[in-house]
Structure 1
Amino acid sequence: MRSWLLCISAGVLAGVSNAACTNKCGSNKCLGAIAADPAFGESFCSSWLALEPATTTVTEVETVTSTLLNVETALTTLTVTTATFTVTGSERSTIYQKRAPTITEADPALPDPTDVIASQCSSNEDRISKACSCILSTATASTVTVLETAVTTAVVEAESTVVETVTDNVVATVSVAAPAVTIPANIIVNGGFEDYLDTGNILPWTDTKDSTGGRFDVVNGVNPCMTGGSYCAGGRVVVRPYPPTTGSKYIAIRETFVGRPSTTYAFSFLYRCLNYDAGTSIDILYKGSVIGSVNQCYNSAAFYRPTGITFTTDATGQGEVEVRFRNSGATPYLYFYADDFKAIAV
């Protein structure tokens, strides 16, 4: 026997509401009014709770084809609605929506069942919702007949999802995957600044001279090699930042990039200090936070490559690195050479 019928019967025999039933199904009077006509009650409750069918995969469809225009990949999934869903209220319960009953002409001499329900439930929405959840928890699941239908869907460029109705209660969904993006081993673009000679700019780098002061040049003809020629950059183009002696006392270059999501990268570059003092240093920032500082300056023509500077991307893979050339001692004529910027996954 249905659990809500047991609740009603217990309430009639005892003359009072059963506590367990009241907690789950609400007022017995309200429950009894809705259950008086099961067919009407289940239809009323389905409408009251605004139930919508969930979806399950259709395997009966005979053929599904897609015409793809200017996209790399398309995943085609055909789904059909059923009557299974979950209602979240004062407690969780899985209920099943019964197929709508055949409506017969009402006897004008009888009161409107909706008015009776409203009266017995004191127009209390919570009572009606609890009673309806109880009634529908044991309702018979409706069925959906799926027709074998050939479906052709055209997917145009710049559309990510196309949804169209095929037959009653059947929905064809075509999802287009985003084109694959190849992320290079070194995610720093134009790290050697050789592109400057052809384009006339340092993109995608930018510099801060307009806001921090100082001077920033790109020069050709420098041989950026480490001590003893143990490593040399691939070209002879380097950047030459002159940090200011007042105000911020630094000038910086920045680059925004896209790397692998949630991945740790090692950041490095070649540099050399000229006309430096003890206050000369370089800070490296990732998304505005300092992740490393270097101050090795030598009286030689050799370049130095710092190590151990890392950052980790977030779930988007997007980030920004900034390199600040500092003149904390306000030394006149201090400048740097820098080249071969890299950020490689570790």
Structure 2
Amino acid sequence: MGEYKPYLAMVLIQLIYSGMILLSKAVFNEGMNSSVFIFYRQLVGTIILVPLAFIFERKSAVPLSFAISCKIFLLSFFGVALCLNVYAIALVYTSATLGAAVVSSLPVFTFFFAVLLRMEKVKVRTKLGVIKIAGLVVCLCGVATLALYKGPQVWPFHTVLSADHSTQHPHHDHSSSPKRWYLGSLLLFCAIITWSIWLVLQARFLISYPSKLKFTSLQCLLSAVQSFGIAIASERDMKEWKLGWNMRLLAVLYCGTMVTGITYYLQAWAIEKKGPLFPALWNPLNFMITIIGSMFLLNESINLGSFLGGILLLLSLYSVLWAKNKEGISDDFCLPIQAQVECENQGERSIGNP
């Protein structure tokens, strides 16, 4: 059963991420400032993670040096605070469907940077190597189809709830503007590039600092402080900072506990077990869940381009996973910068359960 834990963790992560995208888009449609939202979700995650790190890793955690602290600060800023804020702004300008779809291109960029840093190998002259590269190219084609081609509407279904919502908040539909749509698409790609670099650097960092829970909680704490600075600069009206018993509070609590508090740790655990590319390969599942949820919950129209792009994304996912399994990389992944003795004893090390 132990060998299936990383796969089960990835499915859970994608379900949580889909809920995050749908709830985030819902509160943005209601007018909530995206930077304020990011600060609150990181704050909630910090409140949850810091005590857990103190309880479970108080004695076993690796001591922090000045160099390690600086690295965590930079990882928190670029990979969490900046990435989340850029992604949130892009989500305001586009749609939940596109937001989830562009995240599915994460394997392309993660693979590129992993190869660049010699953390992933590709034998381009072998059949499996060609399949891996072709799968990633198909993934990129799928994202391009989603971003640039809409086509005819294939799902014009309108629910009573969504009709009422669109009547109450008509001025927040930014996706109807082509300029905002293309700007949002560009911002999404910038966020994904930052995210992929963060994943690869995390894999390298965890080799020298294996205290995953402490590392995750510190990232959360630092990103909350950094996000506060971004939020206070973008929103000075204190009325916009208030949270009531409404959808905003639900979205903040969900993202703070489920996304920031749980998935960050699970993701760090999966990266250590399977490498930086493994979590990224599961993002097309997030897209398929989100596209269904956006139809019924957010009343987003689904076009032919969405279905064609989704099919391409799924093909890329399973082709790359199949190739990696055939090569044996996904089951016995070991970073080349690790010591040889550590690689030989990888199956005997006690890494910890999610």
Higher helix share: 2
Q: What TM-score bracket applies, with the shorter chain setting the length?
A: under 0.3
Higher strand share: 1
Q: TM-score scaled to structure 2, two decimals? A: 0.20
Higher relative contact order (CA 8 A, sep 6+): 2
Which one has the largest radius of gyration? 1
